[in-house]
Amino acid sequence: MARMLVMVACVCALVVGSILPASVRAADGAADAKVTKPADKAAVAATTGMNMAGLAVPAHRKATNVAIITIKGEIDGGGRFGSSVMATSVQRRIQTAVRAGADAIVFEIDSPGGELNATLKIAQLIKDAPVQNTIAWVQPRALSGGAIIALSARELVTSDPGTLGDAMPIQSGPGGTQAIPRDLLPKILPPLITEIKDSARRHNDFAGAYVRDEYLLQAIVATDLALWWVRNKETGQYLAIDRNEFAMLFPGTDAGGPTRLAAVPASASERTQPVSDVASVPGEVPAGSAQLASAASDVAAGASLPVTQRPLLSEADKGKWVLLDKITDGTGPATFSALDLAHYNIAANSTRGTDGRVVLQPIKTDADLKAFLGATHLRRMDSSWSEGLVLWLTHPVARGVLIAIFLIALFAEMSHPGAILPGVISLLALVALLGPPLLIGMASWWEVAAILAGVVLLGLEVFVIPGFGVPGVLGLVLLFVGLLGTFLPAGSGMFPTSGKGSDELLWGMGIILAAFVTTGFALYFLAKHFGSLPFLSKLVLQAGADDVAVGTFATTMEAEEVASVGEMGMTITPMHPAGRVELDAAGGGPGRVVDAVSEFGFLQAGERVKVVKVDGIRVGVERV
């Protein structure tokens, strides 16, 4: 009986071993996986523990509880303190997934990229996650910074259509998208190249074989790199080779011809020098790219990386490799389609037959993903509404609108003291304008202090100090400088950061000036129609049926004066120091009601006063 049980166990082991994918059996060098096509793949997977290709789910991938963390939209840079909303959100959700007992975390990516520092932070968060079973799901695009994040996960799957790549650094500003200046590339590329190489080597260490090619992945951050795809005749090893390796392995072979990968054409300013002038940098970056070569020394001297498994080619390797295709010709950064990700051994949801043909099993739905992982429970973890609100409120256009609302409501309240509603609106706009930037580091306390000081000085100019002098000018300057300072985080608006934010300065000045101009037009319109608009007319004091309701705000731009020096009247509201005064009528009839300011001290309602100064919208009175 015991002998029979041993025989049964041996047979089971042989059967299981025959259906495991090659990545799990790399040490044994077993053959490629076979693909089956059940009628209802999801149902079969749920009941038999098979994945969408009809294969057993590998033990390293099998998960019971799966958390899906979505990374959608542009990756914000946060502020000068690096407090990216996206990065903070991803960190929070990883921690929540770990506490909830997830044994696999899937990062569903649909992003055009974003700021470099935030991108690298998210990539490091994924690598440092306590749950090692991490999968990037390209659904449907992972471009620029999104590609860097996708490659940081232990495995990568894709929908179809799906796109990954084009991570060449650019900068954007009021003048549009521009290439990074050549002299900055040696400073910007090293962290990108290091991150890509680290991700590739981590994956290859996990797979136990050289699966993801380091040279191939570096093609997404260079516009001048030409590569070819080859296979070893004896071992079946796939490899991307550079220009120098191609000339060594295939002497006399035409290096031209069509490429498999689509490339985003590079501008003339992005090209550096002829490839024939570029020296090879073995072990660090591929030969033939001046851009990568300029950063090679910094990459070598940078962070410690896992040891590469890439074979070092020599003259002795001639005749041992088969040329399969030309990957890219160096006219732009590489971009992979879903089928390209499978073809170049990047996508885990694909199988390769004995004839070399690759079959992609696209992951399009949560059910597909659940089957791929053999999962029992799958939960989505989207960003919270508050995180989305902060991202929206810190968008430059939204901030420009808030600035305009704040200024309009502020001047409306100053011109009609005690109206309350404009003051409340102004306060709410200021909180919405400064609160989110303070939380993510786009503003600091000196900027808040400058804005508040500017408001105080403008209030003094309107209510206390006659004329438009030093306090008014200084108040406007402080208000402008304080608002402008909140637009100057380190590196927002580009991938990666350009350094000190000259583009952000231009953006901020443009948006604030546009808000000031908008405010001017709005004030002019309200000055003409303040009393006639159905809602706003309630904010204008109505002294009686036969009285004329006049306020400085509503009459600022009218031709006739609000009041004349020497006129007498009586206060009808307390003046602390602003309030309202009913001026005496010439024939003894009803007087005119105007907004005024007490020149000396506070006044109570019912006191006789005299107009002593009239300066634009400001009427000054004294007790008589």
Express each pLDDT in 543-586 by its tens digit.
Answer: 444 444 334 444 444 434 578 888 999 999 888 777 889 988 87
Give the per-residue pLDDT at 484. Answer: 83
Between 506 and 558, whose confidence is greater? 506
Q: Which of 466, 495, 529 lies at the terminal end of a domain, its last residue? A: 529
Q: Are residues 266 and 212 in the same domain?
A: yes
Q: Are residues 325 and 470 in the same domain?
A: no
**CA gap 558, 472 in Å, rounded:** 22
Full domain range(s) for residue 292: 168-332
What type of residue sits at position 267?
S
Q: Are residues 423 and 494 in the same domain?
A: yes
272 pLDDT exceeds 90?
A: no
**CA gap 279, 158 in Å, rounded:** 36
Between 380 and 398, whose confidence is greater? 380
Query: Is 194 part of any domain?
Result: yes
Query: Is 486 part of any domain?
Result: yes
Burial tier of 247 (Cβ tally within 10 Å: 0-12, 13-18, 19+): middle
What predicted TM-score, i.e. pTM, was given to this entire model?
0.68
Q: Are residues 254 and 393 in the same domain?
A: no
Closest CA to 385 of 74, 89, 67: 89
Q: Which residues contact 518 (CB under 8 A, 6 or more apart)?
A: 404
Which whole number is the average pLDDT over 175-187?
A: 73
For 25, 41, 51, 466, 485, the CA distances from 59, given in Å and listed in that order, are 12, 19, 12, 80, 53
32 pLDDT exceeds 70?
A: no
Structural domain count of the chain = 4
Closest CA to 398 of 407, 410, 389: 389
Q: Which of 312, 332, 352 lies at the terminal end of a domain, its last residue? A: 332
Q: Are residues 184 and 325 in the same domain?
A: yes
Place of tokens 């304008």: 433
Contact 115, 491 (CB under 8 A): yes
Query: Is 176 part of any domain?
Result: yes
Closest CA to 157 of 346, 347, 343, 336: 347
Stretch among 185-189, 258-262, 438-442 having the lowest mean pLDDT:
438-442
Give the per-residue pLDDT at 400. Answer: 87
Q: Are residues 525 and 546 in the same domain?
A: no
163 pLDDT exceeds 90?
A: yes
User: What value does the mean pLDDT of the chain take?
Assistant: 78
Give the per-residue pLDDT at 491. Answer: 37
DSSP codes of every residue in 436-457: HHHHHTS--HHHHHHHHHHHHH
**CA gap 568, 344 in Å, rounded:** 90
Q: Are residues 200 and 236 in the same domain?
A: yes
Closest CA to 103 of 135, 136, 151: 135
492 pLDDT exceeds 60?
A: no
Give the per-residue pLDDT at 534. Answer: 53
Structure token digits, residue 153: 């996960």
**CA gap 204, 308 in Å, rounded:** 9
Sign of the CA dihedral 448, 453, 454, 459?
A: positive
How far does CA 79 lie from the centroid of its chain? 12
